[in-house]
Structure 1
Amino acid sequence: MPHVETGMLVGLFGGSFNPPHEGHRLVAEIAIRRLGLDQLWWMVTPGNPLKSKRYLAPLAERIALSEKMATDPRIRVTAFEKALGLNYTAEVLDRIKARNSGVRFIWIMGADNLRDFHRWQNWKKIALTFPIAVIDRPGDTLSFLSSTMAKTFDHARVDEDDANTLGRTPAPAWTFIHGPRSTLSSTAIRKENGLIKD
């Protein structure tokens, strides 16, 4: 795990990044700016149990491409999930919390993930572990109203205007952040490159 100091506010941005693209960088930059993060951990996962494994670029390749995308010095590209031998976000977050007492964390995800968040293993536990910032993505703006997670934790929603307070708000707490959106997607890029045949 990247080095952190007590009192820091760190965003956790996980995904397969298969491949990483400008949309991912935009989510990271919006999160850093709107949440007032000291660091953002760009966590490249070995894989995603909910996504097709028909084509997954090697982890080392996805890390290298992510490092090229992550130009802000506050971003730390890491793949410690593989080293820990963990497969699920809830397990990873438990380990992060156990190893970093005194550090405040926010889980960051694109709105496209909010739509299916209730399908993640122990999704309610994730929402009860760290505050969550959902960054708008094209076609998923309304997911913050219609998703199972949004409905279940409606009482814990922090107004977007107060997003910079999220790191000081005990979980469950979440916000939906609007802003510039990129139409790029990893799936579309793989299709363009002939790596997915539907």
Structure 2
Amino acid sequence: MTEGLPLARPGMKIGLLGGSFDPAHEGHVNITEAAMRAFRLDRVWWLVTPGNPLKARGPAPLAQRIAGARAMLNDPRIVVTDIESRLQTRMTADTIAAVQRLYPGVHFVWLMGSDNLIQFDRWDRWREIAESLPIGVMARPGSRLAARNSVAANRLQRWRLPVAQAALLPLRKPPAWVLINLPMSKLSSTALRQAKETKE
């Protein structure tokens, strides 16, 4: 195992939540906790990305974002990791393939907000991602209806599980996905950054 990577045992159910976490906030914690409950996950790894190809503006330094994310958490089941930087992967499809090679026998679930499902069809090799591991989608404010009607949701409709089967998601053969509702948090990293810049 490469030094500095998270530990996991075969048979574990682990959610992967990717993002810039610029900065991490309570909304990230809320969707993580909701995903752990709904999908019966043993762990959730926050994959703090070196940079998001779909965002024009570069994020704050990686070490700063990781430190900020870790400072928010007190649940040892939520692990903040710079695995993409260590593996030198930039695209989600490459990260998932590398993680699945490194951790045979672990049941990974990709986690995303419904706002990401809306643009999922713009991700590099998005169909490959959907065929690689199950996907858990958490409803975000103002994006539930658009997410349900998105290109990706329509193309993947036949593999959508009912909410009542959400706990089975980690063990389902992909493609498989479910959209769950959760208490709404209007917090966003963009809004927090803008508020900080206004104060400065």
Cα distance in 2 between the residues matched to 1:138 and 1:105? 26
Paired residue for 1:163? 166
How many residues of Structure 1 are paired with residues of Structure 2 in the alignment? 194
Q: Secondary structure at the match of 1:33?
A: helix
1:83 correspondence with 2:83:
no
Q: Which position in structure 1 is the counterpart of 2:37?
A: 33
Q: Given the two structures, how large is their TM-score scaled by the length of structure 2?
A: 0.94
Deviation string for 1:88-118 (max 9, x for gaps)?
0000000011111111010001111111111
Give the equivalent residue in structure 2 for 1:66: 69
Matched, 1:142 2:119: no
2:106 match: 103
Q: State the distance in 2 between where 1:66 and 1:108 align.
A: 17
Cα distance in 1, alignment partners of residues 197 and 56 from structure 2: 15
2:128 aligns to what? 125
Partners of 2:90 and 2:76 in 1: how far apart? Answer: 28
2:65 and 2:124 map into 1 onto residues whose CA distance is: 24
Residue 144 of structure 1: CA displacement? 3.4
Residue type at the aligned position of 1:68: A
Distance 2:68 2:196 in 1: 16
Aligned pairs (5 A) from 1:45-64: 45-53=49-57, 55-64=58-67
C-alpha distance in 2, partners of 1:106/1:162?
14
Gaps of 5+ in 2: none
Per the alignment, in what secondary structure is the counterpart of residue 144 of structure 1?
Answer: helix
Letter in 2 for 1:77: V
Shift of 1:72: 1.6
Q: How does 1:165-184 map to 2 (within 5 A)?
A: 165-184=168-187
AA partner of residue 84 (structure 2) = E
Give runs of ≥4 in structure 1 deviating > 4 Å. none
How far did 1:133 drift?
0.2
Amino acid at match of 2:23: P
Q: Percent identity?
A: 44
TM normalised by structure 1 equals 0.95
**Mapped partners of 1:69, 1:175: distance in 2:** 27
1:42 to 34, 46, 49: 46
Partner of 2:28: 24
Q: Give the structure 2 partner of residue 194 of structure 1.
A: 197
Separation in 1, partners of 2:44, 2:146: 24
TM-fit CA distance, 1:80? 1.2
For residues 84 and 98 of structure 1, the distance between their equivalents in structure 2, rounded to whole angstroms, comes to: 12
